[in-house]
């Protein structure tokens, strides 16, 4: 039996999101119908809207959904109707990456997340008899309901029963990426220095995670004083405004022996190349910023090889959803990951205003709250 829903459809080309009636198919064996209570807005949603990803438009976007399970397919055993859940990216479960619990690098990531249908080409969402592109990150949660999958739906632990959905939702992508990059991908060691370039949601999550890891110093670089003030509050020991200061000279003064870790969220290739020059022996440069497909990076081979340095592309913070999302919730409950301080909520029908607030920098993490 299909489910009626309201969904924000992205038409691209500077057109506003339009909230329209749709229907979702009955869950298949490995699928889960979730009533969405809140959904974070992420830079990746903006990239899809702006046709920077191979996603067909018009489409129902949204990939940081949280809500309550309403129905499950016959093959789903880890959640049941009534469970509170968080959703994230989807993965195939059987490729070489998934087999070693690295689903962010799933060989089938594009068909599982970006093509607007299930991998077999069937639609999850319709308007009358017409299919609507959806299944974005295996969910499409800019809607009152979403059809998700067994591999991208995580049950919220009972210990977090009092945490609002608007606080839980953003953990599913951007915050997970920044925190996972520090705690998992780069495995930051206590007492060693890290510089974090860009203090949006991903960068601030990295700052909080660096404090959890015991990194010292923790240097945050941005061009907005307000975000740098937030970075200081979240655990940065030093903040640098790259618009008014020579950030690289400052970092060399703070860390004359070099950085053990540099983490870029900006995607600016010249900045990334310059950050590489700051690395100490065995230093790691982690990259999550979305650069232009035409951009290349150049590093000195002797420095890379002779210093045992690493340049690491990072997706989703190398997160195994079923292990890392509960870990982040535990950190939040203990006060070590106060990401709720980054959030501003917007009603679902204010989705266009929420996007504008996120893009302008007025809000670090906009979160949509669906009608009850």
Mean pLDDT of 216-240: 97
Give the model's pLDDT for residue 205.
98
Residues 6+ apart with CB under 8 A from 95: 106, 107, 108
- Quick one: angle between helices 225-234 and 201-213, nearest 10? 30
pLDDT of res. 23: 98
pLDDT of residue 141: 98
pLDDT of the residue at 290: 77
Q: Is the dihedral of CA 59, 64, 68, 70 positive or negative?
A: positive
Sequence-distant (≥ 6) Cβ neighbours of residue 154 within 8 angstroms: 85, 86, 87, 88, 321, 322, 325, 326
Main-chain phi, psi angles of 330, to 5 degrees: -60, -45
Choice among 57-66, 250-259, 287-296 with the minimum mean pLDDT: 287-296
State mean pLDDT over 55-60.
Answer: 97
Given a cut of 90, is residue 294 above it in pLDDT? no
**Cα separation of 61 and 42, whole Å?**
10
Q: Give every CB contact of residue 342 below 8 A, 6+ residues apart in sequence.
A: 170, 201, 204, 230, 364, 365
Q: What are the angstrom distances between the C-alpha of 148 and each of 125, 182, 254, 337?
A: 12, 28, 47, 27
Cis peptide leading into residue 300 (ω within 30°): no
Check residue 291 and give its pLDDT: 80
Q: How confident is the model at residue 37 (pLDDT cuts 50, 70, 90)?
A: very high
Does residue 84 surpass a pLDDT of 80? Answer: yes
* Strands 125-127 and 18-24, bridge-based pairing: antiparallel
Beta-strand ranges (E) seen in the chain are 3-10, 18-24, 31-40, 59-60, 65-72, 84-87, 125-127, 130-132, 145-149, 153-155, 194-197, 218-222, 238-241, 259-264, 279-287, 310-313, 343-347, 365-369
Going 67 to 46 to 362 to 20, the CA torsion angle's sign is negative
Place of tokens 């809000």: 363
Q: Which residues contact 168 (CB under 8 A, 6 or more apart)?
A: 38, 66, 84, 86, 156, 160, 329
Distance CA 176, CA 160 (A): 17
- Look-up of token digits 């067909």: 56
pLDDT classification of 372: cutoffs 50, 70, 90: confident
Name the nearest CA neighbour of 220 among 206, 33, 212, 209.
206
In this prediction, residues 232-248 reach a mean pLDDT of: 97
**Per-residue pLDDT tens digits for 107-163:** 999 999 999 999 999 999 999 999 999 999 999 999 999 999 999 999 999 999 999
Q: Residue 156 has what pLDDT?
A: 98
d(CA 296, CA 35): 42
Residues 6+ apart with CB under 8 A from 312: 185, 186, 284, 285, 286, 287
N residues, the chain: 372
Residue 68: how many CA atoms within 13 Å on its side-chain side? 8
Task: Kindly give, in sequence order, each residue whose CB lies less than 8 Å from that of residue 189, ignoring residues fewer than 6 positions away.
Answer: 213, 214, 215, 260
Q: Which of 293, 309, 249, 294 is nearest to 274 (CA)?
A: 249
Of 207, 208, 211, the closest CA to residue 221 belongs to 207
Residue 1: pLDDT over 90: no
Question: Which domains does the chain carry?
Answer: 3-172+338-369 (3.90.180.10), 175-317 (3.40.50.720)
Convert the pLDDT of each residue in 312-341 to its tens digit: 999 999 999 999 999 999 999 999 999 999
258, 278 contact by CB (below 8 A): yes
Confidence check: pLDDT of 68 > 80: yes
pLDDT attached to residue 163: 98
Q: Model confidence over 160-175: pLDDT tens digits? A: 999 999 999 999 999 9
User: Cα 322 to the chain's mean position, in Å?
Assistant: 15
Mean pLDDT across 167-185 = 97
DSSP per residue over 200-231, as a string? SHHHHHHHHHHHHHT-SSEEEEES-HHHHHHH
Q: What does the pLDDT read at residue 234?
A: 97
């Amino acid at each position: 039996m299909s489910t009626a829903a309201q969904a924000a459809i992205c038409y691209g080309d500077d057109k506003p999101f339009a909230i329209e009636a749709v229907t979702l198919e009955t869950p298949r064996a490995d699928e889960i119908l979730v009533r969405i209570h809140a959904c974070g807005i992420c830079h990746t949603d903006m990239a899809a809207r702006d046709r920077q990803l191979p996603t067909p438009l018009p489409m129902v976007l949204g990939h940081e959904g949280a809500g309550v399970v309403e129905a499950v397919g016959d093959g789903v055993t880890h959640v049941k109707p009534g469970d509170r859940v968080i959703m994230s990216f989807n993965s195939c479960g059987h490729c070489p990456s998934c087999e070693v619990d690295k689903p962010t690098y799933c060989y089938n990531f594009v068909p599982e997340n970006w093509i607007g249908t299930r991998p077999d080409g069937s639609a999850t969402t319709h308007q009358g008899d017409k299919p609507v592109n959806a299944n974005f990150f295996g969910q499409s949660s800019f809607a009152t309901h979403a059809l998700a999958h067994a591999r991208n739906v995580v049950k919220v632990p009972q210990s977090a029963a009092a945490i609002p959905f608007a606080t839980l939702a953003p953990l599913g992508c951007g915050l997970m990426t920044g925190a996972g990059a520090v705690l998992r991908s780069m495995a930051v060691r206590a007492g060693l220095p890290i510089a974090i370039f860009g203090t949006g949601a991903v960068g601030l999550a990295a700052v909080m995670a660096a404090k959890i890891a015991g990194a010292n110093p923790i240097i945050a670089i941005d061009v907005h004083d307000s975000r740098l003030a937030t970075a200081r509050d979240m655990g940065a020991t030093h903040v640098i405004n790259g618009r008014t200061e020579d950030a690289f000279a400052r970092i060399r003064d703070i860390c004359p022996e070099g950085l053990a870790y540099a983490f870029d969220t900006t995607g600016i290739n010249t900045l990334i190349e310059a950050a590489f020059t700051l690395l100490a022996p065995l230093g790691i440069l982690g990259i999550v910023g979305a650069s232009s497909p035409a951009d290349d990076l150049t590093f000195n081979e002797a420095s890379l090889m002779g210093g045992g340095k690493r340049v690491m592309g990072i997706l989703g913070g190398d997160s195994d959803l079923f292990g890392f999302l509960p870990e982040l919730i535990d950190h939040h409950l203990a006060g070590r990951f106060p990401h709720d301080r980054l959030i501003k909520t917007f009603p679902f029908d204010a989705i266009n205003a929420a996007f504008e607030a996120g893009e302008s920098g007025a809000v670090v993490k906009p979160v949509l709250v669906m009608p009850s």
